[in-house]
Amino acid sequence: MKTSSKTFISLVIALMIGCTINAQFFKKLAKKAEKAAERTVERRVERETSEKTDQALDSILEPGSGGKQTPNVGNQGGNQGGSAPNNTNNSPSSNTTAGAGVSSGEKSITIYSKFDYVPGDKLLFFDDFGHDFIGDFPSQWNTNGSGEVVTVGNSPQRWMELMPGHNIYYIPNIPSLPEDYTIEFDMLTHGMDNNTSSTAGIEVLLTDDENFQAGLHYAKVWIPVGQYAAFGIDAKNHIHGKGSIINSEVQSDIRKAVLNQPHISIAVNNSRFRLWVNEEKYVDIPQMVPEGKLTTLKFKTNALKDGKEKIFISNLKVAEGGVDLRRKLLSEGKVSTNGILFDVGSANIQPQSMGIIRQISQVLQQEPSMKLKIVGHTDADGSDESNLKLSKDRAESVKNALVSVYGVSTDRLISEGKGESEPVGDNNTPDGKAQNRRVEFIKQ
C-alpha cells in the first residue's frame, strides 16, 4: 500500500511537471506564433510599401529617360495636365495633347458663356514639347540660362521648367510679331505656399529686342504666384525717349488659379493689350503696346526659391488674327478656326473656346434669317473611321452649345464631319496638324 501511494504520488508529480512543461511550451509556442505573425505583417507591409514606392517612382519617371525625375505636384489640387497617345484632342499641336482641357459640363460652359477671348486663326507657333527629349532644352526655344523638358506625375504631357535666376529669358523661335495676334499657354506651379515671395511670378514680355535684354520698346505683364496675399497683376510698358507710360498693378486674386494649372490668354490688337486667366479678364489697356515696334515674345521667372518653387509652361500657341470673326462671316459667308478645343478622347468643348462660339451666336442673332452649316475636321492621326466619327461628334457639340447656351434655334443649324479628308496643312508636322484640326462655319 505504501508502494502504491509512492507510485501515485510520483505519477501526480510527473503529471504536474508535464503540465508545467506543456504550459511553458505552449506559452513559448504562442510567443513564437505571435512573433511570426508580426514578421508576416511586417513583410507584407514592406512588400506593399515597396510596390507603392515602385508605382510612385514609375509614375514620375519618363520611360527611356535614364531616370529623369520630375516633381510630383498632384497634391496641389486641380487639373495638373494630361494627354493621351491617340488622336483625341483638338489642341493646336498633335492629337496627343490634352492641354488645359476642362470638362464641358453645363455649369462650366455657362461660366464661360461671356468669355470674349477669340484666338488668332493663322498659326505662327505652337509647342507642346512632344518632339523633345526629356531633360533637354526644347529645340524651338532659346535662352541665356537653362531649362528642360519634363513630365509631371503619371501624365505623358510635357512641360518646360523655367529655371530660377537673374534676367534669364526664354525665347520661342517665332517670326516677327504682327499687329494683331494672340498668345495662349498653360502654366503649372509647384511648391508655392504662404512663404513664397510676394515678387515671385512669371513675366510675359513683348519687346523690340531679339536677344536677352528688355529692349528699348516693350510691353509686359507679371503674373504673381505667391499665396499669402492677393497680389495684383503688374502691367508696364516702355517707349524709348519717353520712358514708362503704363506702370500699374491691376487688382486680382489668382492665388487658387495658379495652383490649378491656369490657362493664360493674351490678345494684342495694335496698341490694345488684354489678358485673361482662365475665363476672367484682368487686363484691358487700350494704349499699352508701342505700335509697330515689338517683334519678340519672351518669358522669365522672378524670385523663385531654387529647388523648392517651380514654374512650368506648355502648349504655347501664338496665332495671327484674333480679330472680329463676325465681320468675316458676314462678308465672306464662311469662317474657319482651330481655336475651338475639345477634351481628350471626346467631343466635350473646352470652355475657354466659348469666345468664338459666342461671336458666331451674335451673328445669328443679328441675322435672324441666316442658317449655318458647322463642319468638323481632324488631322490624320488615327483611323479614317475614328476621325470621321470624332469630327461629326465635335461639330454636333458646337451646334448644341449654340442652341443650349445662346438660344439659337436648332432648325437654323446643321452639323457635318469630314474627318481627315480635307487637310489644309502638312500632317507630318505639329503646325500642319494644328491647322487641320479645325471647325468651319458656312452660311447656307
Residue 101 half-sphere exposure toward CB, CA atoms < 13 A: 26
| Choice between 345 and 55, residue whose per-residue pLDDT is larger | 345
Least confident residue range of 72-76, 175-179, 358-362, 424-428: 72-76
- The more confident residue out of 130 and 102 is 130
- Of the candidates 357, 207, 201, 416, which has an alpha carbon nearest to the alpha carbon of residue 293? 207
User: 74-108+117-321 domain in CATH 3.40.50.10880?
Assistant: no
* Domain segments of the chain as ranges: 1-59, 74-108+117-321, 325-443
pLDDT for 282: 95
Whether pLDDT at 8 is above 90: no
pTM score, two decimals?
Answer: 0.65
What's the average model confidence in pLDDT over 178-197?
95
The helix (run of H) or strand (run of E) holding residue 106 is helix 106-111
Average pLDDT of the segment spanning 405-419: 94
The CA–CA distances, whole Å, from 149 to 139, 157, 231 equal 10, 10, 29
Class of domain 325-443: alpha beta
Contact 363, 370 (CB under 8 A): yes
Q: Rounded distance, CA 82 to CA 408, Å?
A: 33
Question: 3-class DSSP state for residue 155?
Answer: coil
Residue 435 pLDDT level (bands cut at 50, 70, 90): confident
Is the pLDDT at 315 greater than 60? The verdict is yes
Give 57-83 pLDDT, tens digit per residue: 343 333 334 334 455 554 343 333 333
Contact 308, 191 (CB under 8 A): yes
Cβ atoms within 10 Å, residue 335: 23
Q: Kindly report, residue by residue over 202-254, the tens digit of the pLDDT.
A: 999 999 999 999 999 999 999 999 999 999 999 999 999 999 999 999 999 99
3-class SS at 438?
strand
Mean pLDDT estimate for the chain? 80
What's the average model confidence in pLDDT over 197-205?
96
**127 within 8 A of 139, measured Cβ to Cβ:** no
Per-residue confidence (pLDDT) for residue 321, from 0 to 100: 82
pLDDT at 87: 35
3-state percent helix, strand, coil for the chain, nearest multiple of 5: 30, 30, 45
Q: What does the pLDDT look like over 276-309, one tens digit per residue?
A: 998 889 999 999 999 889 999 999 999 999 889 9
What is residue 348's predicted lDDT score, i.e. its pLDDT?
Answer: 86
